[in-house]
Amino acid sequence: MLDALEVDDDDSVSIVEEVEKAFGITLSDAEATACNTVGDLFALVCTKVPTVSGSDQLPCLTASAFRAIRRAIRFRKPTSQIRPDTRLDSVIDGDDHRAWRDYLTSHTGLRLPVPSLQKSSILFAGFVIISGSAILVMGLSVPKLFLAGVIGLSAALAIQYRYGRRTWSEFDTIGDLAREASALSIAQAIRANGSVRKVEAWSALVALVAPFSQRNGDIGTRTRFFTERR
């Protein structure tokens, strides 16, 4: 079991924002600061949302998300045979998944993760071209070379962000994507069903926190955010 996530201060703020957005709640600074472990944060979340220990009346959130995603994909690709273990890249085609995210969001009503920006040659090519152009215009003095480099890097990063390829590379299967979507959309499920199972609320919280961890390992209730609380 992971003893600490080792998140930095910026990430700790981002975690709170993600939890607030996903669960549809508001956490005060004092409440968030008092959370030393993931279990503390979970206990706090459970005071803000209606949770039950178990109920056969409530649908499984991951299964519901999977069925919604499957319906949307089949509408676009009727011949697709889709199971939870179906590889994502076998049905989600194309080098850029932003269009698929927009499509699935509009057809399922789920919040889906933003595809990750992939490294590409655009950044290097943009840096070389723009820096070279700046050098030709400004000359070859050391300060101007430095300025040209800054201009080239800034412009290349902007180009990469705007035109770079984005994919769901962190998800192997449709089931993985459905689990993440159910975590991000848990507030919608709570509004629709009136409550949520504690086990699913915990799974959603772990899914929201895990991307910020600087270490590999299973996250438990005793997993701290920092090695020592600062």
**What are the tens digits of pLDDT across the range 165-201?**
678 888 999 999 999 999 999 999 999 999 999 999 9
> Which amino acid, 148?
A
Which pair of structure tokens corresponds to residue 148?
């040209």
**pLDDT tens digit string along 4-31?**
888 888 898 999 999 999 999 999 999 9
Q: Which residue has the higher pLDDT, 111 or 217?
A: 111
As a 3-state breakdown, the chain gives helix, strand, coil percent values, each rounded to 5, of 60, 5, 35
Side-chain half-sphere CA neighbours of 204 within 13 A: 33
- pLDDT for 230 equals 46
CA torsion sign, 24 to 71 to 76 to 114? positive
Tell me 119's DSSP state.
P
Q: What per-residue confidence (pLDDT) applies to 95? A: 63
Displacement of CA 158 from its chain's centroid (Å): 21
pLDDT at position 165 is 63
Report the distance separating Cα 118 and Cα 145, nearest Å.
28
pLDDT at 92: 83
pLDDT of residue 89: 86
User: How far apart are alpha carbons 203 and 198 in whole angstroms?
Assistant: 9
Looking at residues 103-108, what average pLDDT do you find? 95
| Total residue count of the chain as it appears in this document | 230
7 within 8 A of 214, measured Cβ to Cβ: yes
- Is 14 in a helix, a strand, or coil? helix
Two tokens, residue 193: 């069903």
